[in-house]
A and B are shown apart, each in its own frame.
Chain A
Amino acid sequence: MRTISLYVEKESFIHGLDPVTKLWLTASLLIIPFIVGNIESTLVCLGINLALLSVARVIRRIFSILAMSLVLIITLFIIQGMFYGGNRTEAFALGSLVFYREGLRYATLLTLRFFNIISASMVLILTTRPSDLIESLVRRGLSPRIGYVLASVLQIIPMMISNTSTIMDAQRSRGMETEGRLVTRMKAYLPLMAPLVMSSLVATQERAMALEVRAFGARNPKTFLHEEIISRHALPIRVLTSLGLVAAVIWRVIL
């Protein structure tokens, strides 16, 4: 079965941190460049993120993710290079197409920010099992009911995906065409969606009853199956990231 988690199981310093500390790390490295607002701070945060990803030995994953957005980044440079509002100084011209310094610089900033957002969140996502993250959040006050919803999304999606190929084959064997002209392909959409959607919606009633029978709605405090292990590096990291955020705000206010 295909799984939808990007988690990579490895042993590393980053993997050993608790999810909430990693959430701190990711959030602050992601926000700092926006607070400071220049290319240099974005480069610094991006560098830290890439270093963290190599410590976690998952850095190779990030390149395929970044490669997927190559087209978007190329159009970013083309459009901003030619039409950015602050364009003044000409950088170069290809025939009648003129590219400007300011626009290219702005496109560079946006691209670096985008790389930084991706790499910062990958520090969390590639090294944390989604269910561990949800459990950590429930420990810190997220409603267990919402925790259940999040966890069951992660289970339902692979289940539904594995049903899709069955439905595709069943409808094809009844003569439905899934290739050809646009109208043909549009007509195929509903017969594919409907069986899957209907059956999974009808099953909700059963699931709700199964949960209620097991006292899902009970109001007493919930307990956890596993003990939470907090690494001794967690506190210094949280202090450092908070200091970094404060420094960024001070920089922004003073300069």
Chain B
Amino acid sequence: MSAKPKTTPAFTLSTMSLVLIPVVVGINYIGKLFAQTLKLPLWLDSIGTILAAFLNGPIVGAIAGLINNLIYGLTVDTMSFVYAITSVAIGLVSGVVGINYIGRGVLPMLGIGLLVGIAAALVSTPLNVIFWGGQTGNVWGDALFAALRKGGFPLWGASFLDEFVVDIPDKVATVIVAWLIFKGLPKRLTRLFRRGASA
């Protein structure tokens, strides 16, 4: 919790953070809905989580991720309870790295997307192994998984790569969209959250 003492001393959630979280969970939901409507080959279901981390720091990002999956688990897909820890990791990583690079153009964002993708894949792999014997349920990833296993590749490595190839494009795109939205927000609003994160 003390990775960024500058932004999170003796953390209490401000009212601004508390009203932000439901909105970003809604953004996650709508992001996924639009991606499905447009039949995009990506999930784009964590834009809100990453946006919360950019606006308000890693802890609010992590809480937003946790609450997102709890609500999803209660209302849409039970298995998302299990993957709550992945969402927490996405919020934490994008907050810790993002807060320092948010104003520096698109290139650092690609790097953040990569980092978030790696973190998500690392956290998801043990869950995939426990619940699905290493598969992810994504056709392309699972085809790779099957091919690697056939060639005698170790289970954990194959499972990580299965998740990794699916996660990287998705998380890079998600970070870019979150960043574009962040840039479009009025300064008046983004400052308000920054202050909330350090108060």
Q: Which residues on A are within 8 Å of B, measured CB to CB?
A: 4-6, 72, 75-76, 78-80, 82-85, 106-107, 110, 113-114, 117-118, 121-122, 125, 130, 133, 145-146, 148-150, 152-157, 159-161, 164, 168, 178, 182, 185-186, 188-190, 192-194, 196-198, 200-205, 207-208, 211-212, 216-217
Contact yes or no, B181 A198, CB < 8 A = yes
User: In the complex, how many residue pairs between chain A and chain B have their CB atoms under 8 Å apart?
Assistant: 166
Quick check: is B3 within 8 A (CB to CB) of the other chain?
A: no
State in angstroms the CA–CA spacing of A149 and B20 once bound together: 9
Contact yes or no, A83 B16, CB < 8 A = no
Given A178-B37, A190-B177, CB of A156 within 8 Å of CB of B15: no
Quick check: is B199 within 8 A (CB to CB) of the other chain?
A: no
Contact yes or no, B75 A5, CB < 8 A = yes
Within 8 A of A (CB), among B1-51: 13, 15-16, 18-23, 25-27, 29-31, 33-35, 37-41, 44, 47, 51
Contact yes or no, A153 B25, CB < 8 A = yes
Quick check: is B107 within 8 A (CB to CB) of the other chain?
A: no
Within 8 A of A (CB), among B137-170: 137, 139, 142, 145-146, 149-150, 155
State in angstroms the CA–CA spacing of A148 and B35 once bound together: 29
Q: Give me 25 A-to-B residue pairs in the complex whose CB atoms sit less than 8 angstroms apart, sorted by A's number.
A: A4-B75, A75-B142, A76-B132, A79-B142, A83-B146, A85-B155, A114-B79, A125-B74, A145-B13, A149-B67, A150-B71, A156-B23, A157-B25, A161-B29, A164-B34, A182-B41, A186-B38, A193-B177, A194-B181, A197-B181, A198-B185, A200-B23, A202-B185, A205-B16, A207-B19
In the complex, which residue of chain A has the Cβ closest to the Cβ of B55? A201
Sample of 7 more A-B contacts, CB < 8 Å, known A82-B146, A121-B73: A79-B149, A121-B81, A153-B26, A189-B34, A193-B34, A196-B27, A207-B19
Interface of B is mostly: helix
State in angstroms the CA–CA spacing of A117 and B15 once bound together: 35
Q: Which of the residues B13, B26, B37, B186 comes within 8 Å of A200, measured between beta carbons?
A: B26
Given A150-B67, A153-B25, A190-B177, CB of A125 within 8 Å of CB of B78: yes
In the complex, which residue of chain B has the Cβ closest to the Cβ of A125? B74
Contact yes or no, B145 A189, CB < 8 A = no
Contact yes or no, A157 B26, CB < 8 A = yes
Shortest C-beta distance, A212 to chain B (Å), equals 6
Contact yes or no, B16 A208, CB < 8 A = yes
State in angstroms the CA–CA spacing of A205 and B191 once bound together: 12
Shortest C-beta distance, B37 to chain A (Å), equals 7
State in angstroms the CA–CA spacing of A148 and B181 once bound together: 26
On chain B, the residues within 8 Å of A114 by CB distance are: 79, 131
Q: Which residues on B are within 8 Å of A, measured CB to CB?
A: 13, 15-16, 18-23, 25-27, 29-31, 33-35, 37-41, 44, 47, 51, 67, 70-71, 73-76, 78-79, 81-82, 131-133, 135, 137, 139, 142, 145-146, 149-150, 155, 177, 180-181, 184-186, 189, 192
In the complex, which residue of chain A has the Cβ closest to the Cβ of B176? A190
Shortest C-beta distance, B131 to chain A (Å), equals 7
Contact yes or no, B135 A76, CB < 8 A = yes
State in angstroms the CA–CA spacing of A224 and B21 once bound together: 23
Shortest C-beta distance, A180 to chain B (Å), equals 10
Q: Which of the residues A130, A178, A200 comes within 8 Å of B74, measured between beta carbons?
A: A130
Shortest C-beta distance, A77 to chain B (Å), equals 10
Contact yes or no, B149 A185, CB < 8 A = no
Given A160-B29, A194-B184, A216-B15, CB of A130 within 8 Å of CB of B75: yes
State in angstroms the CA–CA spacing of A153 and B74 once bound together: 12
Q: Which of B37, B81, B82, B150 has the most CB of A within 10 A?
A: B37
Contact yes or no, A72 B137, CB < 8 A = yes
Shortest C-beta distance, B190 to chain A (Å), equals 9
On chain B, the residues within 8 Å of A161 by CB distance are: 29-30, 33
Shortest C-beta distance, B17 to chain A (Å), equals 9
Q: Which of the residues A82, A117, A193 comes within 8 Å of B79, measured between beta carbons?
A: A117
Contact yes or no, A76 B18, CB < 8 A = no
**Smallest CB-CB A-B distances: 6 pairs:** A83-B149, A152-B22, A185-B38, A121-B78, A153-B22, A160-B26
Contact yes or no, A178 B33, CB < 8 A = no
Shortest C-beta distance, A111 to chain B (Å), equals 10
Q: Which of the residues A122, A133, A185, A193 comes within 8 Å of B31, measured between beta carbons?
A: A193
